[in-house]
Amino acid sequence: MKRTLSLMIALAITGVALAQSDAKITIKPNVNNQVISRHIYGHFAEHLGRCIYDGFWVSEGSKVPNKGRIRLDIVEALKKIRIPNLRWPGGCFADEYHWRDGVGPRNLRPKMVNTNWGGVTEDNSFGTHEFMELCSMLNTEPYIAGNVGSGTVEEMAKWVEYFNFDGESPMANLRKQNGHAAPWKVSFWGVGNESWGCGGNMTAQFYSDQYKRYATYARNYPGAPLKKIASGSNGEDYNWTETCMKNIGTQMWGLTLHYYTLPSGSWRGSKGSATNFDEKEYFNTIRNTLKMDEIVSKHSAIMDKYDPRKRVALVVDEWGIWTDVEPGTNPGFLYQQNSMRDALIAGINLNIFNNHSDRVKMANLAQTVNVLQALVLTEKDKMILTPTYHVFDLYKVHHDAKYLPMELNTPDYVSGDSKIPAVNASASQDSTGTIHISLVNVDLSKTINLTTSLPGVNWKTVTGQIISSGKITDINTFTEPDKIHIRPFTGAKKMNNDLVVALPPQSVVILKVQ
């Protein structure tokens, strides 16, 4: 009897465990034509460390294949994932950058000290024309961050004129003299950056008044209307958003939000290693990145008070994981490795942005090359693609696709006395009617049995792709560049009219339903 009872208890416990490893999704129809803007998948190239110099921009006479000093292997990699926009020149650097120093003959351009990032001297050989050539090669839209912190209204106004005016004027003529006859017609224009901090240490009230002054003279030239983006909140500073929405309102196209995932949860002391961490630190890191959903929701609610029609975009133009730099590298260069953990972080954040695409119209991962949660790392003539790059490659199916809301019930991932949702997801339908579902399982040991219902959808086949690895600390290196890459996923099948998925631990999966 005791053995029978023990067996019954064991079976009951097993049943509970199985139930706890089950998840359920119901895909709902899109009733308001909401679209996931491709600009959510934007990127960021600041004059910081080796992002521009020794990243995109190689030295004169370099043997690395390049076109006019722009590194071609990076260009081809970014074209493959169809990056929709690229933010430049900063970041904190933007508010000490004076654009006139970066145009004209390169041998006559003055040098400058990058006081924000490492105190290095730059020769200004990469400036406006070089950046616009890079954007042309990438077939991407430029997103310019203007200098409010140390610049003047006149300086910004003349830069807009230099970019966008097609006619006779001092700045248009200077552009022509410097080799570009036609205006570039730049649309995305940031009026300052982190004005609460490195961009001037301003109050929200002072900045919102300055925004209106600077934005007034950032003119809309014929055929080149600006999408003006105000410098928004640092993480949970909801007062900043409240003040800007109240004082600026719809005089801006977008309002920014910056939030970084810190493994330690604190800017003081060590942030945590990019590659050497245990499960407890991993759990805390994922919990910190999931907080993005709460932060976006609360800022969106404030914006809804003043802008119920959602005309102002929430622009999350700095996000990603920020760890300690790699040992032996310049602490001002913010060079960090990129692990399987970072792939999960990328997938989580992109799912969050997709699910808030009624308000989030643009976002920019920090940063593209050799800095923070980079897509690409370089070492002389070598280049590797990070796990984060492969997530953007998977998720490009969501670009400008119709958003599909969902109801998600997920088991928890438990660590000690704490728990977080094990699964997060988003879904869209492209112009051919194909449905794509992106899934992230953050649990390090459990396969999640996921059942998805698609009411009203007549579908026949499902295929998938996956990013996963044996250890959460696994990375791609210059000696083993393809340890983590996209592989076919065969763990999804049709059962009646439901989609049934065995979602492996620590994985990012895209399903294609037709």
All domains in the chain, ordered by first residue: 24-31+404-513 (2.60.40.1180), 35-400 (3.20.20.80)
Q: What does DSSP assign to residue 209?
A: H
Q: Which residues of 237-250 are buried (b: 16+ CB within 10 A; e: fewer)?
A: beebbbbbbebbee
Q: From the candidates 141, 318, 326, 379, which is the catalytic residue?
A: 318
- Is residue 2 within 8 A of residue 428, CB to CB? The reply is no
What's the chain's Rg over C-alpha atoms? 24
Euclidean distance between CA atoms 248 and 246, whole angstroms: 6
Which amino acid type is present at position 209? Answer: D
Helix, strand, coil % (nearest 5) of the chain? 30, 30, 40
Assign 3-class secondary structure to 382-404: EEEECHHHHHHHHHHHHCCEEEC
Euclidean distance between CA atoms 398 and 435, whole angstroms: 9
- Is residue 486 within 8 A of residue 396, CB to CB? The reply is no
> Active site includes 407?
no
177: left (phi over 0), alpha (psi -120 to 50) or beta: alpha
* Pair of tokens at residue 456: 């009203």
Helices within 166-278 (DSSP H only): 170-177, 204-217, 238-247
- Is residue 450 within 8 A of residue 23, CB to CB? The reply is yes
> Active site includes 318?
yes
Strands 66-67 and 406-409: what pairing?
unpaired
pLDDT in tens, the chain (514 residues): 344 334 333 333 333 333 447 999 999 988 889 999 999 999 999 999 999 999 999 999 999 999 999 999 999 999 999 999 999 999 999 999 999 999 999 999 999 999 999 999 999 999 999 999 999 999 999 999 999 999 999 999 999 999 999 999 999 999 999 999 999 999 999 999 999 999 999 999 999 999 999 999 999 999 999 999 999 999 999 999 999 999 999 999 999 999 999 999 999 999 999 999 999 999 999 999 999 999 999 999 999 999 999 999 999 999 999 999 999 999 999 999 999 999 999 999 999 999 999 999 999 999 999 999 999 999 999 999 999 999 999 999 999 999 999 999 999 999 999 999 999 999 999 999 999 999 999 999 999 999 999 999 999 999 999 999 999 999 999 999 999 999 999 999 999 989 999 999 999 999 999 9
Using DSSP, state whether 166 is helix, strand or coil. coil
Using DSSP, state whether 202 is helix, strand or coil. coil
Longest dimension (CA), the chain: 97
- Is residue 161 within 8 A of residue 221, CB to CB? The reply is yes
Q: From the candidates 96, 161, 194, 480, which is the catalytic residue?
A: 194
Provide the whole-model pTM: 0.94
Q: What does DSSP assign to residue 473?
A: T
